[in-house]
Amino acid sequence: MVIFNMKGMNILESKKEIKSFKAMDILEKAIEMEDIIHLELGEPDFDTPKPIKDEGIRAINEEKIIYTHSMGMKELRTEIAKYYNEKYGTNICYENIVVTAGTSPALLLAIYVVLEYSHKKEILTSNPGYACYPNFINFLSGKMKNYDLDINNNFKMDINKIKEKITENTAAILINSPSNPTGDVIKEKEYQEIADLGLCVISDEIYQGLVYNGKQYDSILNYTDNAIVLNGFSKLFSMTGWRLGYLIVPDKFLSLTQKLEQNLFISANTISQYAAIKALTSLEVEKEVENMIKEYNNRRIITINELKKHNLKIAANPEGAYYMIIDVREYTDNSLKFAYEILEKAKVAVTPGIDFGSNLEGFIRISYATSTENIIEGIRRIGDYIKGL
């Protein structure tokens, strides 16, 4: 029996092993300490744009507080489909959108539906990859099968390594671009290669839009119909606490997805749904989001320059999201211990690479979703600490 204690809030007893999130342990410890610079957080530091907040307040004042349709408000689903089609060049209908309380519940539904529908067990994911994926797959009695991303290849995917892992029991491949933790962005040729595998694809597109070199928005849906897309409002619109996300689901999975959404969640947060319509339709929000993307890019460039200045090695090619991987293999083979040392001695909170899979042991992840002052000072502290080793 394992106790799952994330942010000290959820205590869940289960026979399945759910791995504790080391980053959360570090965050909790960092919160108790003083004068800590937080480079571990995967959360935008920007406020939610005002028109979105105003719309949420309006919804409350006008008592828009009852459950919505289990699939979400038709108006929101229509705007999501329109937004995807305009920004991402896709061709989807509102009927295929299921609104959820964040991308995390969307992930739960997507994995369940694919396993149930296919009667297969294995989900392919990358190592390194988002730390929660193994827990979702395990919780749903699936079997995670990792394909390696190689440091010598900048942690880019190698389609042959994926092909080697496909068996007759493969239910789907789960991809994430832009990537948490590497910041890598899947390019057109790679999307095409993934589509050509002929597998069902679960595509976590939560960081789409946060891309800094070249094409800003892309989707697996431009390459195959056999895909479930996950996205949400947390990152691009700075709405983590509003808890709103969605799935784009092919017809064959729709009724199963709806049944599950209805039973597990009834509907997503009504107030947030009203606010999300504003997020997708307000020109003022669009401008603000563009400015946020520009600012993330500024910070990305500053982070790269500061790391170089302090002789810290950047692994991977950080073109999207707001994460960077630092190679600290010269100093440690235990990234968790190293992260605690950096916290205690340099007073900077970072995420140990091991949270994201064995291929990131010996690496740490930093996030540049924070002020430039914090980035510059945090990297200086890490650099000074490492120089003293």
Q: Which parts of this chain interact with ligand PLP (CB under 6 A)?
A: 42, 102-104, 130, 176, 180, 204, 206, 232, 234, 240, 245
In the complex, what is the shortest distance from the CB of residue 234 to ligand PLP, in angstroms, rounded to a whole number? 4
In the complex, what is the shortest distance from the CB of residue 132 to ligand PLP, in angstroms, rounded to a whole number? 7
Sign of CA dihedral 248, 205, 27, 237: negative
Nearer residue to ligand PLP within complex by CB, 81 or 230: 230
In the complex, what is the shortest distance from the CB of residue 274 to ligand PLP, in angstroms, rounded to a whole number? 18
In the complex, what is the shortest distance from the CB of residue 266 to ligand PLP, in angstroms, rounded to a whole number? 18
In the complex, what is the shortest distance from the CB of residue 269 to ligand PLP, in angstroms, rounded to a whole number? 12
b/e code 378-388 from CB counts within 10 Å (16+ = b)? bbbbbbebbee
Q: Name the phi and psi angles at 245, rounded to 5.
A: -150, -170
In the complex, what is the shortest distance from the CB of residue 358 to ligand PLP, in angstroms, rounded to a whole number? 18
CB 226 within 8 Å of CB 202: no
Q: Can you read off the two tokens belonging to residue 72?
A: 């979400």
Nearer residue to ligand PLP within complex by CB, 68 or 176: 176
- CB proximity list for 25: less than 8 A, separation 6 or greater: none
CB 130 within 8 Å of CB 82: no
CB 325 within 8 Å of CB 316: yes
Nearer residue to ligand PLP within complex by CB, 299 or 347: 299
Sign of CA dihedral 231, 9, 356, 344: positive
| Rounded Cα–Cα distance for residues 173 and 202 (Å) | 6
